[in-house]
Structure 1
Amino acid sequence: MSFVAKRIAELENYSAPQTSQEDLGEFWEETLKTAAARPLNDRREAQESLSDHMEVYKVTYEGYDDTPIHGWYVLPKFGLPEGGKGLPCVVMYHGYHGSKGNPEQYAAWLLMGYAVFAIDVRGQSGDTGNLLAQHHGKTSGWMTQGLLHPKGSYYQAITVDAIRAVEWAAAQPEVDASRITVMGGSQGGGLALITGALSDIPSQVVADIPNMCHMDYGIYHSQGSLIEAASFVSRQPERLEEVLRTLSYFDMINLVRRLTVPTFVSVSLKDPICMPETIFAFYNRLDAPKQMQIYPFNGHATSGDHLRKQVTFMRKNDQQ
């Protein structure tokens, strides 16, 4: 057996204990109930496009709070499918430090026959601000805002924002609400997983090199966003248990049983940000229909014909 084969076999047998709090279910029931009672206060405005083959709309809506979340809603000008059904839609979440980018970057998905709704994660590098109240100091970055308690934390806010994005997409007249895929990479992959677990709208999940998995391992090892939490605890070591408790509410290793739709996951074995142990800890517990794409020599990235693999998976499940 080669070293790579041995490494994969070890990961396929990797197991990590869950860190669920007793009130995990109650916390999410209250969070989702509160979110559902808030109006989206959405706006959809047509924009000019560089392509004659796409329709572009600038969208704002309200998710967790009064912060206007900005997104691109992009449609192909090829007409809707026959039979009166709308288009399948991909709701996209970007990686940490990123943004929704520009509408033209989603052209490949339009050619595949999908509508796209891509949003900014609040406070990061896009058009979306952050009105979330801050009751304690934080380290550099965004994710340590509210890190001492799950209620009112940055993770709670961005999760609700992500769930409300799916609700917005499902309400659009061009979209087939029964065929909505949540998708993203890294931070976006984590948001896709947790949205698929907590919302009954997505029909499938595509999560590339996702974070928000086995986060107690991640805070110790990761060189990505969780290094901000590690820095927070380094300066205030007496806060460790509070921080770990907060992270546990957003850890997919604890929410894995709620994810029941087909799920495509990618993992890179040399990834220093979303380490393979964190992803396998979640994936090995997942009972839903699933597929994993392993990249043995990649860091924090996919490569090759990855788009083809994603679309093949999505179409296969759409036809079932």
Structure 2
Amino acid sequence: MPTIDMPLSQLQAYSGINPRPTDFDEYWERALQEMRETDSQVELIPSAFQTSTVECLDLYFTGVRGARIHAKYARPRDSKQLQPAVLRFHGYSGNAGDWNDLLGFVALGFSVFALDCRGQGGYSEDIGGVKGNTLNGHIIRGLEGHPDHLLFRHIFLDTAQLASIALTMPGIDPEQLYATGWSQGGALTLACAALEPRVRKLAPVYPFLSDYRRVWEMDLAKDAYAELRTYFRFFDPQHEREDEIFTTLGYIDIQHLAARIKGEVLLGVGLMDTVCPPSTQYAAYNKITSIKRTEIYPDYGHEGLPGLNDKIFQFFLGNY
């Protein structure tokens, strides 16, 4: 078959090349401790959008470093039964989407929580406070300072904090907490389940934010990864710090978090993806030790994958 990356047999054995920092585990334990010590100050505000069967609420909480984070929360109205909950994460620069996008899950008895990533297209706050580029480039935000200030560290923690908050909402079944998202949303799905082990099922689709050095070596630091090239051009034009930079990015490389995942995984991947190359996705997937499977689309890239949303529905319903 045509290929833009490795043959499938090699993808299934690929282990990634971006460095893993030696203190990676300590880094994330310190980050989680900061999250646990943060007073979430949860606020629920009824949305203007309501239906006779679905209650729609704007959920706000305080994340690490004091940012107020927004999520859309839709739940069955007047439900008397325990509800499974789905966490939904959006693509890079996007937002939580329309309320209408959440109604399919609620119609099946789920509660749904859709996060707005801080500083992107929704209502979550980005409080800044780092040196260097802030106009574009959330991957590289914080690279000029201590790794504890990397923006995606904070965004990853927001996903785990939202998961924890979801489990405190009335009627949520703690045994049925699920997560899903595409591209950046796929990366956040994996990060969330890695940092919050109570996520029981997760369905990431062509996840972003994995194996940065592989992206660089494939000359695909463009599109969603363009800021890697921007960073080198602005701050390290002769690549004197290349190893240091990729090692620091290793703190927010989802492949290094993947082994922490406990939930069952369904990964969707297009083998012609030039935005999030298949090898970078498999670098994370191959480190997952829990029950897992893939849905492979040989002729598709970073685009809609026919039938996959239906399979994700069935996966969360226990029918697939």
TM-score between the two structures when normalised by the length of structure 1: 0.90
- Given that 2:54 and 2:76 are in contact with CA atoms closer than 8 Å, whether structure 1 keeps it comes out as yes
Deviates more, 1:251-260 or 1:20-29: 251-260
Matching residue of 1:87: 83
Match of residue 143, structure 2, among 131, 147, 153: 147
User: Partner amino acid for 2:214?
Assistant: Y
User: Partner amino acid for 1:131?
Assistant: I
Aligned-residue identity in percent: 25
- Given that 2:197 and 2:263 are in contact with CA atoms closer than 8 Å, whether structure 1 keeps it comes out as no
Give me the whole-angstrom Cα distance separating, in 1, the residues matched to 2:298 and 2:41.
45
Give me the whole-angstrom Cα distance separating, in 2, the residues matched to 1:46 and 1:78.
15
Residue correspondence of structure 1 range 235-274 to structure 2 within 5 A: 235-237=234-236, 238-274=240-276
Determine if the alignment matches structure 1 residue 130 to structure 2 residue 126. yes
Deviates more, 1:138-147 or 1:111-120: 138-147
TM-score between the two structures when normalised by the length of structure 2: 0.90
Give the CA deviation at 1:115: 0.7
Determine if the alignment matches structure 1 residue 224 to structure 2 residue 223. yes
Give the CA deviation at 1:167: 1.1
Deviates more, 1:255-264 or 1:158-167: 255-264
User: Partner amino acid for 1:230?
Assistant: R
- Given that 2:17 and 2:213 are in contact with CA atoms closer than 8 Å, whether structure 1 keeps it comes out as no
Matching residue of 1:288: 290
Give the CA deviation at 1:76: 2.3
Matching residue of 2:318: 316
Give me the whole-angstrom Cα distance separating, in 2, the residues matched to 1:253 and 1:66.
28
Give me the whole-angstrom Cα distance separating, in 2, the residues matched to 1:15 and 1:34.
30
Give me the whole-angstrom Cα distance separating, in 1, the residues matched to 2:119 and 2:109.
31
Give me the whole-angstrom Cα distance separating, in 2, the residues matched to 1:120 and 1:48.
18
- Given that 2:200 and 2:262 are in contact with CA atoms closer than 8 Å, whether structure 1 keeps it comes out as no
| Structure 1 residues 49-100: Cα deviation after superposition (integer angstroms, max 9, x where no partner) | 253221100111011221111111001237243xxxx200011111101001
Ranges of 4+ aligned residues in structure 1 off by more than 4 Å = none
Residue correspondence of structure 1 range 15-54 to structure 2 within 5 A: 15-17=15-17, 19-49=19-49, 51-54=51-54
Give me the whole-angstrom Cα distance separating, in 1, the residues matched to 2:132 and 2:267.
35
Matching residue of 2:7: 7
| Structure 1 residues 269-290: Cα deviation after superposition (integer angstroms, max 9, x where no partner) | 1111111110112222322100
**What are the ranges of 5 or more consecutive residues in structure 1 without an aligned counterpart?**
none
User: Partner amino acid for 2:232?
Assistant: V
- Count of matched residue positions in the alignment of Structure 1 and Structure 2: 312
Secondary structure in 2 aligned to 1:301? coil
> Which of structures 1 and 2 has the larger relative contact order (alpha carbons within 8 angstroms, sep 6+)?
2
**What are the ranges of 5 or more consecutive residues in structure 2 without an aligned counterpart?**
none
Give me the whole-angstrom Cα distance separating, in 1, the residues matched to 2:252 and 2:165.
22
- Given that 1:144 and 1:228 are in contact with CA atoms closer than 8 Å, whether structure 2 keeps it comes out as yes
